[in-house]
Amino acid sequence: MTYDVAILGAGPGGYVAAIRGGQLGAKVCLIDEGELGGTCLNRGCIPSKAFYESAGRMESLRRGAEFGIRAELGAFDLAACVGRKDKVVGDLVGGIQKLLKGHGVDVLRGRGTLMAPDSIQVTGLDGGKTVVTARAVIIATGSRPADLTGLPVDGRRIVNSDQIWGLTDLPERMVIVGGGVIGCEMAHIYSAFGAKVTVLELLDRILATEEREVSRTVQKTLEARGVEFRTGVRVQGAEAGASGVTIALQGGEVLRCDRAVVAVGRAYNSKGLGLEKAGIELDGKGRVVVNDEMETAVPGVYAVGDVVGQLMLAHVATSEALVAMHNALGKKYWMDYSVVPYAVFTAPEVASVGAKEAELKQKKIDYKVGRFSFAASGKALCMGEPEGFIKILSDSDTGRILGATVVGAHSSDIIGEVALAMRMEASPGDIVTTIHVHPTMSEVILEASEDTMGLSIHKMGRRSAKEE
């Protein structure tokens, strides 16, 4: 079988590349041993967001009386939540299957190994072998949860982020090892469901790549909901027994829980695929090395997504995949990482794009800050979500927006406006002269932009622009 492009891995990198290839008239083969949609759809973004919805609704119900709703809150039914998640995932996977078929993409189920830069051997689920040849190859094999020495994952007592979304029994006490994105999202979800959650983080703060005030706000909010955070803690090992898990910390302390979750980062799926034998370069961490056209050291072989490991985000994988597919078909596209919005689905929600203040200080860039608090937003108060803030950073000389961080309800839905503004090289002034719908959360972007000039209408205490 000979194709224009063969793609290894059907996650948000691989399947999107395949659809785009089909749209452009290419003959494409998509190879995966697992389900279509990869980690994002089956074990990551989508399952966790289905759970996130359930968590949000539990919180709403707990606060029902505040909104005039007198209802009795029964126990949380985790099995029903898992069932709903399975339905959502099934619908989306089915949708992708139809799209691939509609675009003439051949899907091969099996494990692919690169035999040569233009040839992949696929070992089917029944053990049968097929060789696929293609003019170009895209590696989109993703990543997997990283292991932690001394914490043997068994899928029931000690679990990782691949396994947790299928478990239907709600543990009474849960310990999450790792206070990064996954750890904090899980802490929010499972504490909302009713578990007593403890997060153990090695560094001195959770969400350590975010601005300090973001880490503080999320920790404070989750603490108020009963989550315990322990930072600067090193886990030495864990042991699962019939009655639970025993976790040993450095210094001799022992913790007990019903379920432990390992969330200490992700490892790249770059080994055992024949990549090095084919001349493809991996860096010291095991990431596939690519240029800004997403091409590896071997011409005609591209790599995208987590296996490239620039930013482990589904939407970045998708963006890289489009670049790679266009280039594989003879076009000239470049990957640009200067504007990458992302969100962390905790309580409150966090969303960010572009530069952080610490980075601007370090680079000695003269910048302005525009801030606005959710407590002064009419929509936030109506929703009963006054917690949070937005901070917009802009270049003092050029006026261009350099970045923004939003902490608060629906921040993930509004960060796109700032991302677009940055792509258009807009300034806070451009946002200020854009009429925003009232009352909506997007108004906080308008107010923060006004605040850059000291002119936020719903804020006191700033000097006027004239004085400045």
Q: Taking CB under 6 A as the criterion, which residues in 28-87 touch ligand NAD?
A: none
Query: Which of 345, 372, 374, 389 contacts ligand NAD by CB under 6 A?
Result: 345
Measured from the CB of residue 44, what is the shortest distance to ligand NAD in angstroms? 6
Residue from 7, 28, 134, 181 that binds ligand NAD (CB under 6 A)?
181
Cα–Cα distance, 324 to 327 (Å, whole number): 5
Kindly tell me which of 167 and 202 has the beta carbon lying closer to ligand NAD. 202
Task: List, in sequence order, every residue forming a beta bridge with 249; answer none if it has no partner.
Answer: 235
Q: In the bound complex, what is the minimum distance in angstroms from residue 187's beta carbon to ligand NAD?
A: 11
The answer to whether residue 179 forms part of the interface with ligand NAD (CB under 6 A) is yes
**Catalytic annotation, pick one of 103, 315, 438, 458:** 438
Output the smallest distance, CB 415 to ligand NAD, in A: 12
> Residue 30 is which amino acid?
L
CB 156, min distance to ligand NAD, A:
20
Among 22, 110, 178, 305, binds ligand NAD (CB under 6 A): 178
Q: Which stretch binds ligand NAD (CB under 6 A): 68-76, 108-116, 343-351, 440-448?
A: 343-351
Residue 312, interface with ligand NAD (CB under 6 A)?
yes
Q: How far apart are CA 373 and CA 443, in angstroms?
A: 11
Could you tell me how many residues of this chain bind ligand NAD (CB under 6 A)?
26
Contact pick of 4, 32, 35, 201 for ligand NAD (by CB under 6 A):
201
Stretch that binds ligand NAD, among 2-10, 174-182, 223-231, 279-287 (CB under 6 A): 174-182
Is 438 among the residues known to form the active site? yes
3-state SS string over the chain? Answer: CEEEEEEECCCCCHHHHHHHHHHCCCCEEEEECCCCCHHHHHCCHHHHHHHHHHHHHHHHHHCHHHHCCCCCCCCCCHHHHHHHHHHHHHHHHHHHHHHHHHCCCEEEEEEEEEEECCEEEEEECCCCEEEEEEEEEEECCCEEECCCCCCCCCCCCEEECCCHHHCCCCCCEEEEECCCHHHHHHHHHHHHHCCEEEEEECCCCCCCCCCHHHHHHHHHHHHHCCCEEEECCCEEEEEEECCEEEEEECCCCEEEECEEEECCCEEECCCCCCCCCCCCCECCCCCECCCCCCECCCCCEEECHHHCCCCCCHHHHHHHHHHHHHHHCCCCCCCCCCCCCEEECCCCCEEEEECCHHHHHHCCCCEEEEEEEHHHCHHHHHHCCCCEEEEEEEECCCCCEEEEEEEECCHHHHHHHHHHHHHCCCCHHHHHCCCCCCCCCCHHHHHHHHHHCCCCCCCCCCCCCCCC
In this chain, which residue has its C-beta nearest to ligand NAD? 180
The residue among 197 and 329 lying less far from ligand NAD, judged by its C-beta, is 197
Task: Put the strands of the sheet holding 254-257 in their side by side order.
Answer: 235-241, 244-249, 254-257
Interatomic CA distance for residues 33 and 109, integer angstroms: 5
Is 20 a binder of ligand NAD (CB under 6 A)? no
- Rounded to the nearest 10°, the torsion over CA 107, 113, 119, 121 is -70
Residues 120-159 touching ligand NAD, rule: CB under 6 A, are: 148
- Build a one-symbol-per-residue string for 223-242: x at contacts with ligand NAD by CB under 6 A, - elsewhere: -----------xx-------
CB of 240 vs ligand NAD, minimal distance in Å: 17
Q: Which of 14, 180, 244, 370 binds ligand NAD (CB under 6 A)?
A: 180
Under the binding rule (CB under 6 A), the answer on residue 429 touching ligand NAD is no
Q: Which is nearer to ligand NAD, 269 or 327 (CB)?
A: 269
Is residue 307 at the binding interface for ligand NAD, with CB under 6 A as the rule? no
- Least separation in angstroms between residue 27's CB and ligand NAD is 33
Q: Are 369 and 392 in contact (CB under 8 A)?
A: yes
Q: Interacting stretch for ligand NAD, rule CB under 6 A, among 91-99, 125-133, 199-207, 325-333? A: 199-207
Residue 403 Cβ, how far from ligand NAD at the closest point, in Å? 17
Q: Is 208 in the site for ligand NAD (CB under 6 A)?
A: yes
Binding of ligand NAD by 316 (CB under 6 A): no
248 is an interface residue for ligand NAD by CB under 6 A: no
In contact, 257 and 245? CB cutoff 8 Å: yes
Among 183, 341, 348, 354, binds ligand NAD (CB under 6 A): 183
Site for ligand NAD in 258-287 (CB under 6 A): 263-266
Q: Is 342 in the site for ligand NAD (CB under 6 A)?
A: yes
Q: Quick one: which segment of 119-127, 133-141, 171-179, 395-403 binds ligand NAD (CB under 6 A)?
A: 171-179
Which residues of this chain interact with ligand NAD, rule CB under 6 A? 148, 177-183, 185, 200-203, 208, 234-235, 263-266, 312-313, 342-345
